[in-house]
Amino acid sequence: MKNYSSIAIVASFFGLWMDSYFSTKLQIISGFLLIFTFGILHGANDLLLIKNINTQNQSIASLKILGYYVAVVLIGIFLFYALPQLALLLFIMVSAHHFGEQQWQNLQDDFPKWILLLFQFSYGFFILLLLFAFNSIEVQSIILNITKISIPIAVFWIFLQIIGVILVGLLAYFYWKLEKIRKKIQLELFYLILFAILFKSSSLIWGFAIYFVIWHSIPSIIDQIKFLNGSYSLKYFIAYCRAAAIYWLISIIGIVLLYFLFKEARLFNALFFSFLAAITFPHALVITRMLGDKKE
């Protein structure tokens, strides 16, 4: 979709404007609704993507693919139950790279792989740390509920500064090395400022939902549709939604069950992010394979 970044900027400022009218409770409800729709939807077609990634493996049975995928999800859930500290750390690291990879997916041929991986991770991690630092009390509570460890608020700011220095250094190197991405780097710096304003002004869920849906999930859906069909159109989007419907519905049922079993807000937030983490692990792997296959 052409000029989507302009739409995303307008939508983000609209979200900031709505922030001044929404109560914290309404922000949370609206944020969850966004995550439950486009946020969950963007990972609901992973099985279809897997089938299209390696055409030489088309003979692999759908049930076998589903079995592998569910196994990875269950391992993620088990890790959060048995080793929550390790699971949360893995979730943050995988999510950081996943966000950075989505935003900077067209640099594979321009830089060594290890520099690109470090850059993508640093970019995504910086965004997460912006979210954590500006909502440190809420994040501290969620981490405590998941891991039983209390992280000092100052730690978020220290890591933000460290990753910020690394990211600025890499951006400066890229700006000097590759002229064709200089305009994109300037835009990305503007986006980071926008994210900082958004996270500072909003509640944790509302700020996360706007970034996760507008800047990650919808662009990912567009990329997936282009990968599956060669181009993006409304017809292909409707077909994408139909293909994802059953898996999206299963995810929503799982979240609804979590809510009714654990209605206490802090506990539900912890379990909700644990659930997101469990389904993020296989999704991130699928998208990495998709982008690699797309490049080939």
Torsion sign over Cα 88, 92, 95, 101: negative
The pTM of the full predicted model, rounded to 2 decimals, is 0.89
Alpha-carbon gap, residue 207 to 199, rounded angstroms: 5
Q: How far is CA 6 from the centre of its chain?
A: 20
Render each residue's pLDDT in the chain as its tens digit; 296 residues: 567 888 999 999 898 888 878 887 888 888 888 988 888 888 888 877 887 776 555 555 566 666 777 777 777 777 777 888 888 898 899 999 999 998 888 776 677 888 999 999 999 999 999 999 999 999 998 888 888 889 999 999 999 999 999 999 999 999 998 888 899 999 999 999 999 999 998 889 899 999 999 999 999 999 999 988 988 888 999 999 998 888 888 888 877 776 777 666 556 666 676 677 777 777 888 888 887 766 55
